[in-house]
Homo-oligomer: A and B are copies of this chain.
């Protein structure tokens, strides 16, 4: 029920890989699990985390469950990241200032 922080959801490399695999289209659990050296319960639990973070949506189809990618929550990460973009170039000036200070000693 209670949601999961998107950043926390992305902290695990397997969960990131799961999202990458889901870019190719909806997949069921066994299909996804076959890409990892990991038991199926583990994958199922990772999918639960992604679901709580609203990064995937599940579509039951018969006895299988197809998971769909929902990239919307990634926008939050993107926006947070954008607030740092202006510091991309500024960093070099910053380093320069520091080096000059050290040279001045």
**Which of B19, B68, B87, B88 touches A94 (beta carbons < 8 Å)?**
B68
- A residues 1-36 near B (Cβ < 8 Å) are 5, 7-8, 10-11, 13, 16, 19-20, 23
Tell me, in angstroms, the Cα distance from A83 to B5 when the chains sit together.
Answer: 21
Contacts of A74 in B (CB 8 A): 81, 84
- Can you tell how many copies of this chain the complex includes? 2
Number of A interface residues at 8 Å Cβ cutoff, please give it.
30
Contacts of A68 in B (CB 8 A): 94, 98
The answer to whether B71 and A16 have CB atoms under 8 Å apart is no
Q: Give residues in A with beta carbon < 8 Å to B.
A: 5, 7-8, 10-11, 13, 16, 19-20, 23, 59, 68-72, 74-75, 77-78, 80-81, 83-85, 87-88, 91, 94, 98
